[in-house]
Amino acid sequence: MKRQSTHFAAAPLAALAGALLLTAPGAQAADIKIGVIAPLSGPIASQGVPTSRGIQAALKYRSEVGGRKVALIQLDDASDPSASARAARKLIDEEKVDVVIGTGGVPGSMAIAAICREAKVPLISYTPLVLSGDDSAWAVTTAQPAPLMINAVVEHMKKAGVKTIGYIGFSDSWGDLAYGSLQKSAEAAGMSVVTNERYARADSSVAGQVLKIVAAKPDAVIGGTAGTPGALPYIALAERGYKGAIYGTHGIINPDFVRVTGPSGQGLLAPTGPVMVAEQLPDSHPSKKVAADFRAAHQAVHNAVPGDAFSAYAFDSWLVATDAAARVAPKIEPGTPEYRAALRDAIFATKDLAVTHGVLTFKAGSPYGADSRSAVVVKLDKGQWVLQP
């Protein structure tokens, strides 16, 4: 665990200076402290690095709320859930942050959620959280729940007249989650899922599984996969000459997947957040403006256009935090338990907040705030994602 830059290392000094200022008469309002935990190294660093970029863009985009400055303290958890937990403790006990944002990976986020709940500090995650009822009293997430995304795809299949669906996914919890969501949505839409084939992320061939799927002759095949390991079934299907429609989940929307899949991915349909196709959205879409703002801020800070979904999720968590902070009564001072409780209440009172991944409305009892406006279906055409009506 290490501080990310000398800029952040100066934070305690700044806090000290702030404390000195407070003793002076007519002191400025105290800063709001946001603690960010991200996997900047380790196996899921490819997710954590864009996240951190998104947060830095967000800091540039909104660094002041209601006359108070927002201070950012960022820690690396090295993709290790136990390090995530230690980072959360450090942020809460030593830095006395008002809200925690983090982290990449569901296990790490779950570890932080438990600590935040115990310490009564609000958590805004950007990965799915498996929480409900009282357990989610202090935690929300900007990610869309998997069933919502899968449902968007099933809706698309229904319109296209698909009756039977072949499924191939990872032999892990992501594969299970995608299959479970698919079965529920498909049943409701009067379709049947005819295969449940699995493979491991590290496998080198899915010839056997794909043969079985092709033999079952489904109208469409959907892969419950993520990232570059998810390319394998689509390549194998193309090799076997499968002619039906191919679908995927939101886990495959990344430039490396497109590179590895190559021409085999032509025509692939997948759900994603609106930000990925921001410039193709109709002007009436609530995400259009904020997504453009996000791109501009990202461009200004990093001199690059964001090509991934993760930086946008992180940007959204910052928006949720600052939007809620603006609604906290100005007389409550940050850094106090009253402030943290008021901030939590404000987060759970978030209603129709336009973010880059759709619109968020949080209610007590569930960490998810996304609705069907947070999912669009895109089609891979010559290496580009094209928005589907």
Residue ranges binding another protein (CB under 8 A): 43-46, 168, 171, 197-200, 202-209, 211-212, 215, 227-229, 231-232, 239, 256, 260, 262
For the bound state, the minimum distance from the C-beta of residue 180 to another protein, rounded and expressed in Å, comes to 15
Tell me how far apart the alpha carbons of residues 274 and 265 are, in angstroms, rounded to a whole number.
21
Which one, 199 or 318, has the nearer CB to another protein? 199
Tell me how far apart the alpha carbons of residues 55 and 314 are, in angstroms, rounded to a whole number.
6
Tell me how far apart the alpha carbons of residues 143 and 275 are, in angstroms, rounded to a whole number.
13
Which one, 139 or 206, has the nearer CB to another protein? 206
For the bound state, the minimum distance from the C-beta of residue 83 to another protein, rounded and expressed in Å, comes to 17
For the bound state, the minimum distance from the C-beta of residue 38 to another protein, rounded and expressed in Å, comes to 15
Which one, 227 or 334, has the nearer CB to another protein? 227
For the bound state, the minimum distance from the C-beta of residue 170 to another protein, rounded and expressed in Å, comes to 10
Radius of gyration of the chain (CA): 22
For the bound state, the minimum distance from the C-beta of residue 255 to another protein, rounded and expressed in Å, comes to 9
Do the Cβ atoms of 116 and 122 come closer than 8 Å? yes
Q: Is 40 exposed, middle or buried (0-12, 13-18, 19+ CB in 10 A)?
A: buried
Q: Which of 127, 101, 121 is nearest to 36 (CA)?
A: 101
Q: DSSP letters along 13-31, please? A: HHHHHHHHHHHSTTPPPPP
For the bound state, the minimum distance from the C-beta of residue 192 to another protein, rounded and expressed in Å, comes to 20
Which one, 28 or 205, has the nearer CB to another protein? 205
Which one, 244 or 286, has the nearer CB to another protein? 244
Which one, 239 or 352, has the nearer CB to another protein? 239
Six-digit token string for 220: 């469409």
Tell me how far apart the alpha carbons of residues 261 and 256 are, in angstroms, rounded to a whole number.
8
